[in-house]
Amino acid sequence: MKRIVLLVVIVATMFGISMVFAQKDLRLSIATGGTGGVYYPLGGGMANILSKYIPYAEATAEVTAASVDNCLLVDANKADMALIMADVGWDAFKGKGKFKQPLPIRTLAVLYSNNMHVVTLDGKGIEKVPDLKGKRVSTGAPGSGTEVKALRVLEAFGLDPNKDMTQDRLGASESAGALKDGKIDAYFWDGGLPTASVTDLGATPGIKLKLISHGDAIPNMREKYGPLYVKGVIPPKTYPGQDKPIEIALVWNLLICNESMKDNVAYDIVKTLFEHKPELIAVHKMAQQLDTAPQVDGSPIPLHPGAIRYYKEKGVPLK
């Protein structure tokens, strides 16, 4: 009798273990960005939520160079999802700019607004974007959305990074460190509010952070690249020592996937993120902007059919 009971226990245990592993038969990777920005922690939060609440999936977040590379990773099926900027995504979808051919990407969700920072320090003699002429400036990591947008901001002011300044190409954390160490005079960073590396720079003893307004670049940017960019504001006190609002160029961030993602998987991803939004906000407050309203026209890239199914269930008036 004891042997029978023991056998039942063993079989039940093995069955239970096999069921656990069977439930996690789908591995999902999320391409994010550098560790100093918002993409990486937000993507990590998404991965944890998806792993926790989708019974058959295990998700992980990967450090990348951000938007441009992320589109290529999704196209090559080396990442299942990615966080990107809408302007870069539009180029990828159309096969323009840094993309040689149209990529089969689709939007899962419009996430939050991406805010261009032009960061410098008091004493550098930089009060406006044209003052970057003759300076050493980081325009963002190669393959990043920051780099794409930074070059468009400079272009809007008639500046050529190859001729009018010494150009470095560093990520968020590296740029902040280089500015603090006096290796560069200013840098561009496009991300959420607040970005940890900018906050840390502003909190450094003996340093006076300065952000440069550039909202007047938007008309020229929209004329050349379309209505992707809108005027935004970095509110006062967002960063240490920032006493006034800063007008900026703003674009939406997206969560994308390959068009080949199964409809039920896309549906479960979107549904899970929206239903557990408070947990995502606990990771980073930019997740507060995750809402159904921006899904109507916040992305120039078509929505995935699985995402459409969820939004229609929620009564979103999709066009």
According to CATH, the superfamily of the domain at 114-251 is Periplasmic binding protein-like II (3.40.190.10)
Check whether 8 has a pLDDT greater than 80: no
For the chain, give every domain's residue range. 2-112+253-313, 114-251
Instruction: Extract the tokens encoding 265.
Output: 């998987």
- State the Cα–Cα distance between residues 200 and 215, nearest whole angstrom: 25
15-59 tens-digit pLDDT: 444 444 446 799 999 999 988 888 999 999 999 999 999 999 999
Token readout for 4 is: 């029978």
Q: Which CATH superfamily is domain 2-112+253-313 in?
A: Periplasmic binding protein-like II (3.40.190.10)
Q: Do 114-251 and 2-112+253-313 have the same topology in CATH? A: yes
Q: What is the pLDDT of residue 192?
A: 87
pTM of the model: 0.81
Locate 299 and state its tokens.
Answer: 């992305």
Among 41, 26, 143, 145, which Cα is nearest to 80's?
26
Q: How many residues does the chain have?
A: 319
pLDDT tens-place string over residues 141-178: 998 889 999 999 999 999 999 999 999 999 999 999 99
Taking each helix axis from N to C terminus, what angle separates 145-156 and 218-225, rounded to the nearest 10 degrees? 110
Q: List, for residues 190-247, the tens digit of each pLDDT value.
A: 988 899 999 999 999 999 999 999 999 999 999 998 878 989 999 999 999 999 999 9
14, pLDDT greater than 70? no
